[in-house]
Each structure stands twice: as C-alpha cells, then as structure tokens.
Chain A
Amino acid sequence: MKAGIVVFPGINRERDMAIALEGSSGRKPRMIWHRETDLSGLDLIVVPGGFSYGDYLRCGAMAAQSPVMAEIRAHVARGGYLMGVCNGFQILTEAGLLPGALLRNAGLRFLSMDCHLRVERNDTVFAGKYAAKQVFRAPMAHGDGNYFADDATLDRLEGEGLVAFRYVTPEGDMTAEANRNGSARGIAGIYAPGFRVMALMPHPEDLVDPLMGGTDGKPLFDGLAA
C-alpha cells in the first residue's frame, strides 16, 4: 500500500512510523504536513503519535479540527485505509472517526513500558499477519490512554467485533494489572465498521527491529505492505 503520514505541529513519532512502514514495504511513506489538502494516490494514511498542539485543551482536540481532517474523511469515504496510533487514536476519536474517548490514565501518571496485546481478530489487513488470539508485545508511552465509551457503545463494539486489540498478560489473560491505564474492557485498539479504519494506543512501530528488543510489531506493518 502507498502510505502517507500526517504531521500536525507537536507530532513526534512520525519518524518511528516511517521507519516501520519502510522496513516492511521498502517504500518511503509520504510525509503530509497538516495544511496539505491533496491526499490523492495514497492507500493508507497514518496519524502517528506525539503531542499535537502540546496536548493542550484535550489530547487530539485541536488536530481534529485541522483542514486535513476533511481530506482524511474523504479518503475514508473513498474506501481508503486509515490508522491512528497513540495521539493518532486520540485525534481520530476527537474527530468522530472512531467512537469513545481517551481519558487520563487511571493512575494519573504517564506510562512508558512494554505491554502485551491480544489480537482479537486476524481477518483484517491490520492484523492479518498475526495469528488469531496471538499475544504480542508493544511499547506504550502515554498519559491519556484510558479508553472510555458508554456501555451501549462498548456493547456495540464488542457485538460487531470491532475491538482490535486488548491489554492482556503475556499469557493472554485480561487482568487489572495488565490493563495499566484502566481502559474500559481492556480495549487497546478498535476498528470502525468495515475494518478499514483502526487505531490503537501502544506503539508497534517501536518494536520492529531485533536490536531494539524484538520484532513483535512487524507483522502489523507487513500486513500493510502488501
């Protein structure tokens, strides 16, 4: 897939994302400054991690009002793929492209450590290179990753199979300890209906090189390379 990475002021994991995408596809993704409005020719748009607009007001709130968002909506309407990671997840919920919101971590502290994610379904382009219910490791680094939605929305997400990844123990069990930011029903990532839009809080892009401690994140990018 031909990929582009949207860069808002304050985004800071765009280079990590570019390395991971290029590592799997062999092609450099296009970097898209947030004032650009021509997203034609791209199959996949990624909204990466960082602190867009300093996370001031609410994480992702101001980026969600940016001109490029209209183009991103049009891209999704055309059937294009869209992925948000960390601040990207926050931006996509603030923009209403995904339901729910990301609240302050339950412990009120920034969390930077590896977590384990369980692949809830593997029949999507994002998770297709993982096995069903596979558990993989990913670094997380966020202050506001506590997924929240009302019960009806959560029931709908689960009913329609839209939960992408959950926080689990290395053995694959959902426990309070494994769900460090306190997310509702252990949700780490979700799909929009149609499975072409996906966002998650942790950073698989930072675990794609054995030298950095593992390649657990690589299957995600291999899936997007095809």
Chain B
Amino acid sequence: MIVGEKLARSFGLSGEEYARVLEIMGRVPSLTELGVFSVMWSEHCSYKSSRVWLKTLPTTAPWVIHGPGENAGVVDIGEGLAAIFKMESHNHPSFIEPYQGAATGVGGILRDVFTMGARPIANLNALRFGDPSLARTKRVVDGVVRGIGGYGNCVGVPTVGGEINFHPAYNGNPLVNAMTVGIARADRIFLSAAAGVGNPVVYVGSKTGRDGIHGATMASTEFGQNSEDKRPTVQVGDPFVEKLLIEACLELMATDAIVAIQDMGAAGLTSSSVEMAGKGGVGLALDLDAVPQRETGMTAYEMMLSESQERMLIVLRPDRQELARAIFEKWELDFAVIGHLTDTGRIVVSHRGRVEADIPLAPLADQAPLYHRPYVDTPKRAALGEVADPVGIAAALTTLIGCPDLCSRAWVWDQYDSTIGGQTVKRPGAADAAIVRIDGSNRALALTTDCTPRYCLADPEAGAAQAVAEAWRNITATGARPLAITDNMNFGNPEKPEIMGQFAACVRGMAAACVALDFPVVSGNVSLYNETEGTGILPTPAIGGLGVIEDAGAAVGLALAPGLDLVLIGATQGWLGQSLWLREIGGREDGPPPPVDLAAERRNGDFVRARILAGEVAACHDVSDGGVLIAVAEMALAGGTGVQLSHLPAGAPHEFWFGEDQGRYVLAVIDAAAVMAAAAAAGVPAVLLGASALGDLTLPDGVAISLQGLRAAHERFFPAWMAPAT
C-alpha cells in the first residue's frame, strides 16, 4: 500500500487533514502512523464537529466529582460513595450485525465504567428502530434485544430500564445507546492520565485479533449501498471474559498498584495509549511483539487499529508488577508488559525490530481538526390550529395504548435479567425510573433514559430541553433527587448545515434545561453521520439521568391500588402538536412540540418530590407520550386496578386527555384535599381527576373500558410481531 492522500482519504481523512499530518510528521507517514492519525482524528475519537458546541454545556455542580473528559462521569451520592455512569452509542455496528453490535455496545460501556474503579450495578439502553412493518426492522430488533440480553445477562449486571421508539427515519440507521452505572468509593476513583517515566505499560484481557479494524472510522461515515460489505469489521463480544476482567480489575484496584488505567474501546490500542500518554504529558514506547495475539502474522497497523473486545491498558507501579500479574493469572486472563512510559513526548511503536510509528503526541492531540461547521436554524413549525376528534376518547385510548411506541415492553424486559444482584427495588415498568439499591446501604439510585425525537425534529431546542426535563421528571416521580445526566447525541451528517443546526439547537436546549434544573452533564458520546443514502435520522439527543434517594423504601412506583384519589399536577392546555394522538389517530406528525416551561417544571417537580418524601403519595407517574389518559391507563394496568374518572375538562376532551403538555404528573393519594391545598399554597396547578376502584377504567361520561380489553391491546404488539412464522 502506498501511503498518500488517496489512501488517507480512504481512511476517512480529508485532503486538508492529510496535509496537516505531513506537516506534523515532516515526512510521509508510515501506514501505521497514517492509521493512528486517521482514527485519532475521526469524528468518533476527536469530536471535531461537535466539540465547539459540547463545551457550552453545564458540567459542574457541588456533587460532580468528574465531569466530561474522563472515561465516565462521577457524582457524589453520599456516604462516601460515588456513582459512575455514561451512555454510549453502538449504532452502526448494530445495523450491520445487530446481535454482536448491541452486545459489544454493552461490553464497551461497562468497561468505561469499571475502568474508573466502579462495580457496575445497572445497565439501561435507549433504542430507536425503523418502521415495524419492515422485515429488516424485525430482524434488527430481535438481534439487538438478544445481544443486549446475551451480554448483560452473562456478565451479571442487571438491565433495569430503557426506552424504545419506532420511526421510519431509523429504517437504515437504528440507534443502540447503552448506559452503565457503577458504584465506587468516592476516594477510590481511577483515572487515565499516565505518569512516571519508566513505569510499565501493561496489556490485560483478551488476545488481539483482526476484529473491527477501522471501526472508529466506520462509525463516522454515512452508509451507502455497500454497507453490508462492511460486516467483517464488526467485533465479536465475549461477556465471559468481560466478567473475569471486571473481577480481576476490581481486585487489582483494591491494591495500590495502578497509576492509570483505560479500556481499549474504539480504535483499541491506539486511542488508549495515545490518550493515556497525552493526558499525562509523557511519552510511550510500545513493543508490539509482546501483545498477546489470537491470529498469526498480524502487522503493526492491524494491532494498533484492532478493536478486539475485553482489553485494558494499565500503567503500573513497577514494584507491583508481579502482584498484578498474579491477579490476572488467577482469573485466567492475558497479562503482558508491552511497553513503558518515556520522557520523549512521543509514541514509538516497534514491531519485529522495526520502528513502525514514531509520532509526537502533543500535535496529534492539539492539532486535531476542530470544525466550526456552518449551520442553519430549523424553521419554526406553524401552530396546529383546531383538530377535531374523529374517533372519541375510548377508541383513541385503545389504539394508543397498543401502538408500537406505547405498548407494553414486557416482551423485551423479559429477556433481560433485571433482578441479579438482589438490589432491584423497582424493576422495568414498575416506576418512572428504575430503582436500584446500593448493597450495604439504605440508599438507592433512580435511573432513566429519555428522548422524544419527533419533538426534536420539529423544534430541536425545545425538544432537547424536553428530553432533559423528562429525565428529571422521571427521577422526581419516584421521590429521588435528580443529580446529573449523560448524553448520547445521535444526529445525521454534520457537514449539512441543517443537521448542524439541529445539533446546535439541541445543545442550547439541553444547556438551558440543565441549568434550570441543576442537572449537569457529566459524560456523553456523539454519534454523527447516522444517514443512509442521504436520509438522516431524527435528531436524537438521548439523555441518561441519575438521581439518588436516601431511603430506598420511600421510592414510589406507578402501580395503582384501589381507594386512592388521582390528582393531576401541572397546567394543561391540551397541546396536540407532535402528540402521539395526532400521529396515531390524526395520521400526521405536525405542528410545534409542547413548549417546556423550565421554571414550572422545577416548581411542579419539587412539589411532587416533597409530597412523595412526606409519605403522602401511594403511586406517581409522569405525563409524557400520549398524555394524561395514557398515564392513568398505565397506572391502572400496572396495578390491575380500575379508575373512575370524574373530571370534566373545560375544553375539548381529546385535547385534555391526550395533549402532551409538559411538567405534569399524576399522583395517587389518600388525602386529595390536603395535596390540593398544598398545591394551591405552592402555586402549583392541581386537578382532581377521579379515584381508583376495582373494575373498569370509566370515563367521566360513564363510558367503561374494561381493563382486560385494555391489557390485551397493550400487550399484543411485541409477542404478535415476534411470534415465529408458522
């Protein structure tokens, strides 16, 4: 292979970027060097299109220990403990090979968390798929769900929550965003900055093969007709080895042996070694002959770019090398000293007695491309105007509760081990956020993932603010205090000004919501170029939220019991723009999405949380997709309890029951009068909707909808869709 601009372009570098490589190197780079530059300067590793915008997000709060820039975000959760969490995409691999793509996505995010010293205690996932009527969508959903389960179940971390949306915009670009949450002692956090000239650089985990070469650059290019041909670059996961790696790393972390540690994720050995040395301001000499290899005849280029899974790079104290080796040998994992730190400020890679790469680290990082991409604002949508109700409330409820975006996800959850660890207080579907207790403590974490992409398409700024607000609301609805978020920014091709405009507006909306709700961003990931043949996905800034509740027993779920009053908190004007009612019943995605009043959001949420913690609330559910009646129906189905609705709205009934106004909750309480009085005193809008009772869900006009019929409609879609062909 002749190294030159043509090859550089095929590696994903632009002509201009290649010129900069020549300038830094002062000569034509070797193949391995070109490989290193191309992956380090890929969108995936360098954030070259998104960095200028991400810098504007709020990332600090008194409880934030480490914000973006480390492997994952770290927040103080009290009792000397820290929660470490991050969400990351594995979109492109999951389209090419759904099972392995999703599985290795889970594996990768787990490593980002345990590499910082945390034992992973929960996984979540935010998934977006294409039109369910396509056979391809079914194949992708089946493979992704099996892959997430296959990896998470084996590695022994409960999968406790997540979300699934369907939309034709994801036909060629499904999104698989995986989130892991771990717990560590706040004074035992491990970072990646290498230090100590002469210290050994150690490779542990699985052997290196030719998997996933150029995965990081694949994750940064648009799909074309021939993307099926890219199959060989998808990596294969080994959750068994990952489990051993978790235990071995945590055992080593209990000693004082580690100076720095980082997992080998995208761009494998290249990114881990370059980032560790770069952050520490040291140099690095690597001897590739020492790298444990699964295949014979691998070149330096292949080893540096391999994305074989379940591998970590560690800088050790030299006097602890044998102690560390003994731990990894006990767990039957490879352990090899593959280099040492130097004071040269360069990464020097040798293989079979030859120097295959010799690159100055500072310019590799500092002169990485940074683009202020041109952008245009998304035009505002015209107001919706009046929309008549063609079917009536009862029929719309039955249709909506069974539609793919609102139907029961039990078919999916039932394939994920959600109870392992014995700390899952609220399993998937039992509460607005999953509640996982911390072993040995009375505290629990509240965890959720949220985004409403159709809102983001119609108005990226409002939509992204809504995503943050909904995550905050879902945590609040359990009684927990929201602490911080991780974001997974999934967008189309950033070289198109309208896509860049979506990105910029989403960041603005998120930032405003994060500030208003004291809910900073502590980690995140960007996935761009989610386009197939020019068709992009909906802008999808998926938000992973984390909160804490001091008394796990005080957390409430959404299941209704008989004999409670239902109180709606928050103002309702009956907003149908971009609602699911408009899409499923009205047959169109139209109008602006509901506005987000962040001050009202905060006030209403703080009020609801205070009521829950005062013990006044038996069940709580936020109002989101589908509106109030869907929220009530979901509470009724979860508890197997009917509801007698009595509230007669002033405006059109379908606007009241299915409008998607924000900042609202349905509370099931024993003493409605007291809650209403407290709401009035706090300036929080509250409406008594009705009461729970055994039997049907009865509308204010007396129309009764049997719970059994509703349940059948709710639970039909996934099992019927996935039933084997006969």
Assuming the contacts A54-B239, A211-B437, asked whether A16 and B332 have C-beta atoms less than 8 A apart, the reply is: no
- Do A10 and B419 contact each other (CB < 8 Å), given the known contacts A51-B240, A53-B240, A111-B414? no
The reply on A94 being an interface residue by CB < 8 A is no
Smallest beta-carbon distance B70→chain A, Å: 27
A139 contacts B419, C-beta separation under 8 Å:
yes
B440 to chain A: closest residue by CB: A19
B418 beta carbon closer than 8 Å to chain A: yes
- Say how far A36's CB is from chain B's closest CB, in angstroms: 12
A-to-B contact residues, CB < 8 Å? 9-10, 12-13, 15-16, 19-20, 49-51, 53-56, 109-113, 139, 141, 143, 203, 205-206, 208-209, 211-213
On whether the beta carbons of A9 and B414 are closer than 8 Å, the reply is no
How many residues on B have C-beta within 8 angstroms of the other chain's C-beta atoms? Answer: 33
Q: Knowing A50-B156, A112-B414, say if A19 contacts B422 (CB, 8 Å).
A: yes
| Interface: B238 (CB within 8 A) | yes
Given A54-B240, A56-B240, A141-B153, verify A112-B425 contact (CB < 8 Å): no
- Chain B residues 127 to 186 lying within 8 A of chain A, measured CB to CB, are 146, 149-150, 153-156
Which 4 A/B pairs are nearest by Cβ-Cβ distance?
A: A12-B156, A54-B240, A16-B422, A141-B417
Known: A54-B241, A113-B414. 12 other contacts (CB 8 A): A12-B156, A16-B420, A51-B156, A56-B240, A111-B414, A112-B153, A112-B416, A141-B419, A205-B422, A208-B422, A212-B422, A212-B423
Evaluate whether A54 and B422 lie within 8 angstroms (CB atoms) in the complex, with A9-B331, A12-B155 already known. no
Contacts of A211 in B (CB 8 A): 425, 437, 552-553
Residue of B nearest to A108 (CB): B724
Q: Which single member of B153, B421, B439, B552 contacts A110 (CB below 8 Å)?
A: B153
- If A54-B154, A110-B153, A211-B425 touch, does A203 touch B419 (CB 8 Å cutoff)? yes
Alpha-carbon separation in the docked complex, A203 to B421 (Å): 11
For the complex formed, measure the closest distance between the CB of A49 and the CB atoms of chain B, giving whole angstroms.
8
Closest Cβ of chain B to A189, distance in Å, is 18
Write the chain B residue with the least CB distance to A217.
B422
**How many whole Å from A105's CB to the nearest CB in chain B?**
10
Q: Could you list some 19 contacts between A and B, CB below 8 A?
A: A9-B331, A9-B332, A13-B420, A16-B421, A49-B420, A51-B240, A54-B154, A54-B241, A109-B146, A109-B414, A109-B415, A110-B416, A112-B413, A112-B417, A205-B422, A206-B419, A211-B553, A212-B425, A213-B427
The residue in chain A whose Cβ has the minimal distance to the Cβ of B553 is A211
- Chain A neighbourhood of B311, CB < 8 A: none
- Measured CB to CB, the nearest residue on chain A to B142 is A109
Closest to B155 in A: A12
Query: Which among A20, A55, A109, A111 has the greatest number of chain B C-beta atoms within 10 A?
Result: A109
Residue of A nearest to B119 (CB): A15
Contacts of A110 in B (CB 8 A): 146, 149-150, 153, 415-417
> How near does chain A come to B154, taking the closest CB pair, in angstroms?
4
B424 cross-chain contacts in A, Cβ below 8 A: 212
The chain A residue sitting closest to B444, CB to CB, is: A211
Which chain A positions have C-beta within 8 A of B154? Answer: 10, 12, 51, 54-55
**CB neighbours of B417 from chain A (8 A):** 110, 112, 141
Other-chain contact of A54, B146, B238, B415 (Cβ < 8 Å):
B238
The count of A-to-B residue pairs whose CB atoms sit within 8 angstroms is: 88
Contact B422 A209 (CB under 8 A): yes
What's the least CB distance linking A211 to chain B, in Å?
Answer: 6
* B421 shortest CB reach to chain A, Å: 6
Instruction: Tell me which residues across on chain B come within 8 A of A109, comparing CB atoms.
Output: 146, 414-415
Residues of B within 8 A of A54 (CB): 154, 238-241
Q: B40 to chain A: closest CB distance in Å? A: 33
Is A112's CB under 8 angstroms from B415's CB? yes
Cβ of B19: which chain A residues have Cβ within 8 Å of it?
A: none
Give the chain A neighbours of B425 by CB distance below 8 A: 211-213
Q: Are B420 and A12 in contact (CB under 8 A)?
A: yes
- Give chain B residues whose Cβ lies under 8 Å from the Cβ of A139: 419
Q: Which chain A residue shows the least CB distance to B332? A: A9
The answer to the question of B664 belonging to the interface, with a C-beta cut-off of 8 Å to chain A, is no
Contact B156 A13 (CB under 8 A): yes
Distance, CA A19 to CA B424, complexed state (A): 14
Q: Which residue of B lies closest to A51 (CB)?
A: B154
Per-residue interface assignment for chain B, residues 423 to 460, with 1 indicating a CB less than 8 Å from any chain A CB and 0 otherwise: 11101000000000101000000000000000000000
Once bound together, how far apart are the Cα atoms of A55 and B425, in whole Å? 28
Contacts of B155 in A (CB 8 A): 12
- Residue pair A51, B553 in contact (C-beta under 8 Å): no
Residues of B within 8 A of A13 (CB): 156, 420
Contact check, B243 vs A12: say whether CB atoms are below 8 A apart.
Answer: yes
Could you say which residues of chain A place their CB within 8 Å of the CB of B244?
9-10
Residue on B with the closest CB to A14? B156
Closest to B552 in A: A211
Chain B residues near A212 (CB-CB < 8 A): 419, 422-425
The distance in angstroms between the C-alpha atoms of A56 and B413, with both chains bound, is: 24
As a 0/1 sequence over residues 384 to 428 of chain B, the CB contacts with chain A under 8 angstroms (1 = contact) are 000000000000000000000000000001111111111111010
CB distance from B655 to the nearest CB of A (A): 38
> Which of B153, B240, B420, B423 is the one whose CB lies under 8 Å from A9?
B240
B422 contact from A15, A51, A143, Cβ within 8 A: A15
Q: Is the CB of A20 within 8 A of B153?
A: no
CA distance in complex: A94, B149 (Å)? 24
| Contact residues in A for B421 (Cβ distance below 8 Å) | 15-16
A126 to B539 CA separation, bound complex (whole angstroms): 55
Contact partners of B243 in chain A: CB under 8 A: 9-10, 12, 51
Which among B240, B413, B553 has the greatest number of chain A C-beta atoms within 10 A?
A: B240
Cβ-neighbour of B420 out of A53, A113, A206, A209 (below 8 A): A206
Q: How far is the CB of B721 from chain A (nearest CB, A)?
A: 14
Whose C-beta in chain A lies nearest to the C-beta of B246? A12
Report A-chain residues with C-beta under 8 Å of the C-beta of B149.
110, 112
Tell me the smallest distance from the CB of B541 to a CB of chain A, in Å. Answer: 30
- Closest partner residue, chain A, to B430 (CB atom): A213
Q: For A20, what are the chain B residues with a Cβ–Cβ distance below 8 Å? A: 422
> Please, how many angstroms separate the alpha-carbon atoms of A112 and B428 in the complex?
11
Output the least CB separation between A42 and chain B (Å). 22
Q: From B239, which residue of chain A is reached at the shortest CB distance?
A: A54
- The interface residues of chain A lying within 8 Å CB-to-CB of B332 are 9
A20's nearest neighbour on chain B, judged by CB, is B422
Q: Which residues of A contact B240 (CB under 8 A)?
A: 9-10, 51, 53-56
- Cα separation A33 to B683 with both chains bound (whole Å): 60
Q: Which B residue sits closest to A143, measured CB to CB? A: B153
The winner among A51, A56, A113, A211 for most chain B CB atoms within 10 A is: A211
| Interface mask (B232-244 → A, CB under 8 Å = 1, otherwise 0) | 0000001111011
